[in-house]
Amino acid sequence: MSASPWIVVRANKFSIRMDRRIPFVLGGLLLAAFLVLILHVGIGEYNIAPLDVVNTLLGRELGDKNYHFVVMELRLPRAILAWLVGAALGASGAIIQGLTRNPLASPDLTGVTAGASAAAVTLIIFLPHAPDYWLPITAFGGGVFVALMLYLFAWRGGTSAGGDSPIRLILVGIGLSAALGAFTSFALTFGDLWHVQSAIMWLAGTVYATGWNDVSALLPWLIVCLPLALYGARDLNALNLGEDVAQGLGLRLILKRAFLLLLSVALAAITVTVAGIIGFVGLIAPHLARRLVGSMHEGLVPTAAFAGGFLVILADFVGRTISPPTEIPAGIVIAIIGVPFFLYLLWKREKA
Amino acid sequence: MSVLQAEKLSLSYDTTPIIHSLDLETPSGQITALIGPNGCGKSTLLRGLARLLKPKVGSVLLNGLAIQTIPTKQLAKELGILPQSPVAPEGITVRELVAQGRYPHQDWFQQWSHADEEALQKALTLTTLTHLTDRAVDTLSGGQRQRAWIAMALAQETDILLLDEPTTYLDLAHQLEVLELLVKLNQEGKTIIMVLHDLNHAAHYADHLVALADGRISAQGTSHEVITEEIIRDVFGVESQVIPHPITGKPLCLPLRRKQ
């Protein structure tokens, strides 16, 4: 018998296990993101050498007084926000793919982010004086609405054998996205010009012009949702075997499925409120993670989060520096890799 | 030893009634085979017994208690179910699949105890999968794959194991491999209730046969009591000759033609 590929930690009544690859993969992804962050923060109209970036990050005073402002106030919040947005989308995608046993599912392809975005635009344009904290809640509500629609139109037969096909979920999602996109356009056309402009600002899928306030708006949600996603990993593993098997294992199907779906929607919707719609991260990151650590969700969920974070920070860096002074939004950079990847997944399914 | 019963059980899919006020007591410690033609409700009955379908009327009782009233994790420690041809997630290894059987025994702070590890190793040994532990399930042969799923259900450590056509899509040697494994498990004390298509397999391997037609029990008992020319004609609409197996003496059904 070969050696166990698991690390098991036990202390009294406490025990956890994980695949051996997970700490290395997570560490590697974090390191890669950090290297990109140093370049991201250093390169621009005002170049700062990587070593100076690190020194500034560590709070060391340097000769150039501008470093602190450029690094800490202008560029760092944006780079960190990009990573956090990617992490939320990656985790959201991993949850929804496990939940639906559908490798094509992701928060954008199912229309969840379109729902969140339509709801947020509606709020910005028609209730411009609403307090700030309404925005994430409204976006979440829009995402939940789409999740309910998906449930009604694409999920009724269940996801196990004999249920609806994965393609159906995506078709319904694309339909919902189109309808909600039309609604958003409608709101943008008829809304007050001033408010419309601020709505358009984040619709493009960009983390441009972000500050610490955006980071602090996103962070509390992630601090709550990501551990909950880890907590749900065992349930996702069971659900991934099919609904009958999961129920046979003692999983409370309706309760757990609703909880995980809401969690996935919350993670995706919150990113919309700070960065607009960034597509394909929720699709690609879980696939990347599966290649790296396998299909078990206690490893897959954090790895997908870290992979998503890496993807978005890299995309934002590339978009910002590839042809200055023009900036390409991170969402567009990712779509350039994301669209062919999606087509590849479709093609692979056709062949299977 | 747990006892699983159905009492005036009626089951339906949406509004289509499938099982009609059925009473059944499955003998504990034995192998029970549910047989019958397509659409007779045998898989539905199995799903009902496994609480995958909620009864419209009546109830399924485990040791006298309605299973709907037993907390689902508690029930999962006493009753395992293996649906027909389950599909493993892409790339999942045998070890990872079998470990899932421990789900009802775990919670968030107790995710891999010594008991979990022991149950995993025991399940792998019983199903002779120890040499394939770290292979991806989707690279295994059909028989090995089915054994991996059975190992998952074994890791659950239940008294009762329900299986829906465990031999579907397997060739003859792999069918016997699975059935012989189930007999071995039964000898170790597990109660087995399964849906089987092949009458001769049912006669050979099961202690108790239940023949269903139109959602009702037509006959039940030992293979000699159930596999008769008359019952085969009534239940399946097939004329046959039933002879004793030259070696085992169990009834052997030789179909002749459809009932005229």
Confidence of residue A163 (pLDDT cuts 50, 70, 90): very low
Residue in chain B lying closest to A291 (CA): B91
| B86–A295 C-beta distance less than 8 A | no
| A245–B72 C-beta distance less than 8 A | no
| B109–A14 C-beta distance less than 8 A | yes
The pLDDT of B51-59, averaged and rounded, is 91
Collect all residues with Cβ–Cβ distance below 8 Å to B5 and sequence separation of at least 6: B23, B24, B25, B26, B60, B61, B62
Instruction: Please count the residue pairs, one from chain A and one from chain B, whose beta carbons lie less than 8 angstroms apart.
Output: 112
Query: By the 8 A CB rule, do B149 and B82 touch?
Result: yes
Please tell me the distance from the alpha carbon of residue A290 to that of residue A71, in angstroms, as a whole number: 34
Q: Is B50 on the interface with A (CB under 8 A)?
A: yes
Residue in chain B lying closest to A159 (CA): B87
Query: What's residue A159's pLDDT?
Result: 43
Number of other CB atoms surrounding residue A213 within 10 Å: 11
| A234–B103 C-beta distance less than 8 A | yes
pLDDT at residue A201 tops 80: no
Residues 118-157 on B with a CB inside 8 Å of A are: 130-131, 133-134, 152-153, 156
ipTM of the complex in this document = 0.92
pLDDT at residue B85 tops 90: no
| B109–A296 C-beta distance less than 8 A | no
- Tokens (6 digits) for A118: 């339509």
What is the average pLDDT score of chain A? 85
What is the average pLDDT score of chain B? 92
Nearest to A250 among B73, B83, B85 (CB): B73
| A4–B86 C-beta distance less than 8 A | no
Q: What is the pLDDT of residues B245-256, one digit of tens each?
A: 999 999 999 999
Confidence of residue B170 (pLDDT cuts 50, 70, 90): confident
The pLDDT of A241-256, averaged and rounded, is 91
Class of residue B37 by CB neighbours under 10 A (exposed 0-12, middle 13-18, buried 19+)? middle
Please tell me the distance from the alpha carbon of residue A332 to that of residue A313, in angstroms, as a whole number: 13
Query: What's residue B237's pLDDT?
Result: 92
Query: By the 8 A CB rule, do A95 and A229 touch?
Result: yes
CA dihedral A295, A299, A301, A304 (to 10 degrees): -80
- Tokens (6 digits) for B22: 């059925």
Chain B interface, best mutation among A9, A228, A244, by max B CB count within 10 A = A244
Nearest to B50 among A13, A15, A248 (CB): A248
Q: Is B81 on the interface with A (CB under 8 A)?
A: yes
Domains in chain B: ranges and CATH? 1-78+158-227 (3.40.50.300), 88-157 (no CATH)
Residue in chain A lying closest to B87 (CA): A241
pLDDT at residue A210 tops 80: no
Number of other CB atoms surrounding residue B219 within 10 Å: 19
| B112–A6 C-beta distance less than 8 A | yes
| A6–B111 C-beta distance less than 8 A | no
In the block, tokens 């409370």 appear at: A252
The pLDDT of B145-169, averaged and rounded, is 94
Q: Angle A238-B111-A292 (CA atoms, 0-180°, nearest 5)? A: 65
Chain A interface, best mutation among B14, B100, B102, B129, by max A CB count within 10 A = B100
Q: What amino acid occupies position A82?
A: A
DSSP A56-77: HHTT---S-THHHIIIIIIIHH
Statement: A24-58+66-351 belongs to CATH 1.10.3470.10: yes
